Amino acid sequence: MPVGTLATVKGVPQDVLEELGAEIILSNTYHLYLRPGVEQVRKLGGLHSFMSWPQAILTDSGGFQVFSLNDLRKVTEEGVTFRSHLDGSAHFFSPESAMQAQIGLGADIVMAFDECTEYPADEARARASMELTLRWAERSKRYFEEHKQEVPWTNATLISSHARTGFLARSGEHGPPVGVETPPVGCNPAPIQAEATQALFGIVQGGMDPALRKESAERTVEIDFPGYAVGGLSVGEPRHVTREIVEATLEHLPADKPRYLMGVGTPEEIVEYANLGVDMMDCVLPTRAARHGLLFTSEGKISIKQAHYAGDSGPLDPNCGCRVCRRYSRAYLRHLYASNEVLAQVLNTIHNLSFYLDTMRAVRHSISLGK
Amino acid sequence: MPVGTLATVKGVPQDVLEELGAEIILSNTYHLYLRPGVEQVRKLGGLHSFMSWPQAILTDSGGFQVFSLNDLRKVTEEGVTFRSHLDGSAHFFSPESAMQAQIGLGADIVMAFDECTEYPADEARARASMELTLRWAERSKRYFEEHKQEVPWTNATLISSHARTGFLARSGEHGPPVGVETPPVGCNPAPIQAEATQALFGIVQGGMDPALRKESAERTVEIDFPGYAVGGLSVGEPRHVTREIVEATLEHLPADKPRYLMGVGTPEEIVEYANLGVDMMDCVLPTRAARHGLLFTSEGKISIKQAHYAGDSGPLDPNCGCRVCRRYSRAYLRHLYASNEVLAQVLNTIHNLSFYLDTMRAVRHSISLGK
């Protein structure tokens, strides 16, 4: 899932995202809550309508940003008090208010409010944090079940929007996005599923302790969600630990429901995690790296700012068919980056996203071939 | 002509420019001379190849930037010594070196090196400056005639590049860009015009004195160029003076050759100047204003940053068919701008260029109807 923090994948128009084959993007509840505000988005019909993106959207719970962007946060049983990174103003997220925000934003998939356990954490701390996340998961689900009908879109608007942009035709080819309630494959807009709402996923925590991860997974599954995320990783631990914890967690999550690994990774890592059974991943790496001139290619990583590309008339990646590699030379991309031109960010991001989405298409193809 | 200072119309990919119907863009010799350097562009086949833009390009002479971006410039009969706005390094432009740079960059239309007379200037100063520009025009033409075969592209590469991107097909519909030597309309790549080179335009100066303008125009026409520009306007004078000088100048320039008014204007002004007989204009206004959230619409100018647009679900311009107005709301554009998102600049620029190019299409349509 490309990351579109503020209801925009930085620098990339929505039609280009569609052309790249992005079927779902992630937006950040914390950022949208601060700007433009949940109520504003809700009144405009939710994120799909607000950003003109009829494909699927997932919003995170806000928990990770509250923890990673706030040194002054205060956690209680009730929730988290934090300060805006924009103006220092004080705010409070509870499982209930985080769910309320995500229902108002109206993404297709929403996440239970969790505490992202810091790294390193000792056993007692990791257990206490895990227990808190479990209690918050129950509260998240309870609030969601009681309020899920308040989502700003109705089925009618959602389906007509999908039909307008050919979403249904694409669903017919590839199947609906995991965990998203869409009309039956290949059908006409009718019959409408009158009861369709958002899908709430639970999040497994438990630090770097496989036993805690097992317990967290089992007890989260007991609460019962239509999909499960593995949280609390990529927080500074060594990569081999990430892999061990992913493996230790996945085996306790049902394989017939989406398993979502949050916040990873490099192209090599997403292949590896998919191979372990992960169905969904999100990461800022392709988009953030692009803004720093770091480009992923079939021949390895390239830092386009390097002077030796200044006279290189070849394509960025000779094996890539994206609109950037089809049209522009390394020399031109290097010039744009060195001159601090906005088009550098636009083109670099398009290419990196294309590379990531191609990687996942190759993974899906291998799966369909039984490899 | 949209302005693409550093071989990029800031934030807009080349295929979007093509979709907008841009048939020619302007790039700045001064900026490209400093970054990435003329030799770099020349070795890569010239600007067309470097930026992957097979449509027409015009480069200015560098004179205007030398004057407007340099407080420490020193003008002699030979040329201008100036300092880079990037690193303060010393450089020298003469008519010969400016032509050499423009031949190396390889645009379709290049401009004689001129002195842009400051405003206000007394009669003696305006005359002296005009005389200098006339001497520089002769030197520019002499150097160009002796060196025009050094252009980095050959006809073969230009035509194959045009054919590859369908440029010939478009030429067949609309006729070739003014002043640009292209293959005969509607033909196959063969027969190739073996002698095709760039087109060098002369520039009329003369301050705000109609008599000096007349003399400058007549003596520039005597030197004989395939097109003529009116320079030294939009330098701080009142708009009614601009108009008077444009009128006073145009009547002394041949109507059967392109007449190019440099550095204007608002949408209303470009219609007005076209009505006076101007064939070509360039201006940073649509692109620069877009970056400041100022958007041109059929209902007037809009400052998208204003808070009252935050909840406005309507299109930016209900009468505009551009990809921005077709897809996004004012509320979303306002959010992008207020959040300092790069997509704001991208979308705003696309819309403003669309509005300008639509304006000129309407002008051409009126002309073809004899109105």
Query: With contacts defined as CB-CB under 8 Å, which chain B residues touch A342?
Result: 10-11, 342, 345-346
Q: What is the pLDDT of residue A163?
A: 44
DSSP A301-366: EEETTSGGGTT--SBS-TT--SHHHHH-BHHHHHHHHHTT-HHHHHHHHHHHHHHHHHHHHHHHHH
Cα dihedral B245/B251/B252/B254 (nearest 10): 130
Contact B332 A51 (CB under 8 A): yes
A363 inside 8 A of chain B by CB: no
Question: Which candidate from B10, B15, B347 shows the least CB-CB separation from A341?
Answer: B10
Q: What is the pLDDT of residue A66?
A: 85
Question: Helical H runs in chain B?
Answer: 14-20, 29-34, 38-43, 47-51, 63-68, 95-105, 123-147, 155-164, 167-174, 210-223, 239-250, 267-276, 285-291, 323-327, 330-338, 342-368
pLDDT digits (tens, 9 = 90+) for A242-270: 999 999 999 999 999 999 999 999 999 99
pLDDT digits (tens, 9 = 90+) for A276-327: 999 999 999 999 999 999 999 999 999 999 999 999 999 999 999 999 999 9
B314 inside 8 A of chain A by CB: no
To the query of whether residue A60 is one of the catalytic residues in this protein, the response is yes
Q: Nearest residue of B to residue A328 by CA position?
A: B52
- Using a pLDDT cut of 70, give the percent of chain B over it: 89
Q: Nearest residue of B to residue A307 by CA position?
A: B36
Q: Which of B60, B114, B317, B358 is catalytic?
A: B60
pLDDT digits (tens, 9 = 90+) for A190-231: 444 556 899 999 999 999 999 999 999 999 999 999 999 999
The region that residue A137 occupies, defined by phi over 0 for left and psi between -120 and 50 for alpha, beta otherwise, is alpha
- Using a pLDDT cut of 70, give the percent of chain A over it: 89
Q: Are B118 and B73 in contact (CB under 8 A)?
A: no
Measured CA to CA, the distance from residue B229 to residue B157 in angstroms comes to 29
Q: Which helix (H) or strand (E) holds A124?
A: helix A123-147
Give residues with Cβ within 8 angstroms of A182, minimum separation 6.
A162, A171, A176
The pair of three-digit structure tokens given for residue B32, joined into one six-digit string = 């490209």
Measured CA to CA, the distance from residue A41 to residue A101 in angstroms comes to 10
Measured CA to CA, the distance from residue A195 to residue A148 in angstroms comes to 10
Question: Which candidate from A8, A36, A335 shows the least CB-CB separation from B36?
Answer: A335
pLDDT digits (tens, 9 = 90+) for A118-130: 999 999 999 999 9
Q: What is the pLDDT of residue A158?
A: 52
pLDDT digits (tens, 9 = 90+) for B281-319: 999 999 999 999 999 999 999 999 999 999 999 999 999
Q: Which amino acid is at A47?
A: L
Q: Nearest residue of A to residue B42 by CA position?
A: A311
Res. B4 pLDDT band, cuts 50 70 90: very high
DSSP A48-110: HHHHT--SEEEE--SHHHHHHS-TT-EE-SS-EEEE-TTT--EEEE-HHHHHHHHHHHT-SEE
To the query of whether residue A282 is one of the catalytic residues in this protein, the response is yes
Q: Other CB atoms closer than 10 Å to residue A169's CB: what's the count? A: 11
| pLDDT of B348 above 60 | yes
Measured CA to CA, the distance from residue B318 to residue B310 in angstroms comes to 17
A323 inside 8 A of chain B by CB: yes
Contact B342 A346 (CB under 8 A): yes
The region that residue A277 occupies, defined by phi over 0 for left and psi between -120 and 50 for alpha, beta otherwise, is left
Measured CA to CA, the distance from residue B322 to residue B295 in angstroms comes to 13
Between A54 and A188, whose confidence is greater? A54
CA atoms within 13 A on the CB side of A13: 22
Query: Shortest CA distance to B137 belongs to which of B45, B229, B49?
Result: B229
Q: What is the pLDDT of residue B72?
A: 78
Query: With contacts defined as CB-CB under 8 Å, which chain B residues touch A336?
Result: 6, 8
Q: What is the pLDDT of residue A195?
A: 65
Res. A69 pLDDT band, cuts 50 70 90: confident
Q: What is the pLDDT of residue A52?
A: 98
pLDDT digits (tens, 9 = 90+) for B89-133: 999 999 999 999 999 999 999 999 999 999 999 999 999 999 999
Task: Tell me the residue length of chain B.
Answer: 371
Q: Nearest residue of B to residue A313 by CA position?
A: B44
A45 inside 8 A of chain B by CB: yes
Measured CA to CA, the distance from residue A150 to residue A96 in angstroms comes to 14
Q: What is the pLDDT of residue A64?
A: 87
Q: Which of A209, A282, A317, A358 is catalytic?
A: A282
Measured CA to CA, the distance from residue A258 to residue A61 in angstroms comes to 17
B50 inside 8 A of chain A by CB: yes
pLDDT digits (tens, 9 = 90+) for B209-224: 999 999 999 999 999 9
- Residue B248 distance to chain A (closest CA, Å): 39
pLDDT digits (tens, 9 = 90+) for B30-84: 999 999 999 999 999 999 999 999 999 999 999 888 888 877 789 999 999 999 9
Q: What is the pLDDT of residue B194?
A: 52
B93 inside 8 A of chain A by CB: no
Least confident of B152-166, B209-223, B333-347: B152-166
Interface of B with A in 6-35 (CB under 8 A): 6-8, 10-15, 35
The pair of three-digit structure tokens given for residue B14, joined into one six-digit string = 């080349």
The pair of three-digit structure tokens given for residue B79, joined into one six-digit string = 């040329």
Question: Which candidate from B40, B52, B327 shows the least CB-CB separation from A311?
Answer: B40
Indicate the average pLDDT of chain A: 91
Q: What is the pLDDT of residue A98?
A: 98
Give the torsion sign (CA, A279, A196, A29, A347).
positive
Res. A178 pLDDT band, cuts 50 70 90: very low
Q: Which of B108, B114, B209, B282 is catalytic?
A: B282
| pLDDT of A185 above 70 | no
B343 inside 8 A of chain A by CB: yes
Contact A45 B327 (CB under 8 A): no
B43 inside 8 A of chain A by CB: yes
B306 inside 8 A of chain A by CB: no
A305 inside 8 A of chain B by CB: no
Q: Which helix (H) or strand (E) holds A15?
A: helix A14-20
Question: Which one of B35, B43, B51, B347 would you mutate to disrupt binding with A, by most A Cβ within 10 Å of its Cβ?
Answer: B51
| pLDDT of B191 above 50 | no
Cα dihedral B209/B242/B63/B152 (nearest 10): -120
Question: Which candidate from A14, A43, A313 shows the least CB-CB separation from B44?
Answer: A313
Q: What is the pLDDT of residue B69?
A: 81
Query: With contacts defined as CB-CB under 8 Å, which chain B residues touch A40?
Result: 310-311, 331, 335
Q: Which helix (H) or strand (E) holds B75?
A: strand B74-75
